[in-house]
Amino acid sequence: MLDIKIRKETKVDYDEIYNLVKKAFETAKHSDGNEQDLVNALRKGKLYINELSLVAEFEEKIIGYIMFTKILIGKYEEITLAPLAILPEYQKMGIGKQLILEGHERAKMMGYHYSVVLGSEKYYPKLGYIEAKKYSIIPPFKVESKNFMAIKLNDSKEKIKGIVHYAKEFGI
């Protein structure tokens, strides 16, 4: 495994992140080609969380990126993971996993209880994500249940349930 450094993104990183996200999604199965523009739009929105927008650096080069933004699940403010992007030449080396786990730890410390993701049913369950419906978390769109997942980050005093409301920048 590469010895990477994970840190919060800064404004100086924005262009490099834009290019990284664009390159990472060029060959992705499920991509609309606008993920890099979504990142820029989310940064300008009300639900952006700088503390949970992280880069992975290797030899002073940004090779990975993850962003968590605020969502509402019913009346509860939680987070969603989107996007996760790793430069193609660094994929399948555990960098995405490291970014996700670090993001989860930081989110726990900030008091979030759940993270939601729309993604691969083969990848995210390895990191503890399960079908969101098992937590009574409902997507706001039609999607296969196996691809709409959540993970419990903290023990919650109340049982959470409800429909997810994403940032308007997602266009959902």
Q: List, for residues 51-107, the tens digit of each pLDDT value.
A: 999 999 999 999 999 999 999 999 999 999 999 999 999 999 999 999 999 999 999
For residues 98 and 63, the answer to whether their CB atoms sit within 8 Å is: no
Q: How far is CA 94 from CA 127, 149, 164, in A?
A: 11, 20, 29
CATH level 3 topology of 5-170 = Aminopeptidase (3.40.630)
Give the integer Cα–Cα distance in Å for 78 and 80: 7
Residue 32's closest CA among 94, 144, 118, 92? 118
For residues 47 and 70, the answer to whether their CB atoms sit within 8 Å is: yes
Three-class DSSP category at 8: strand
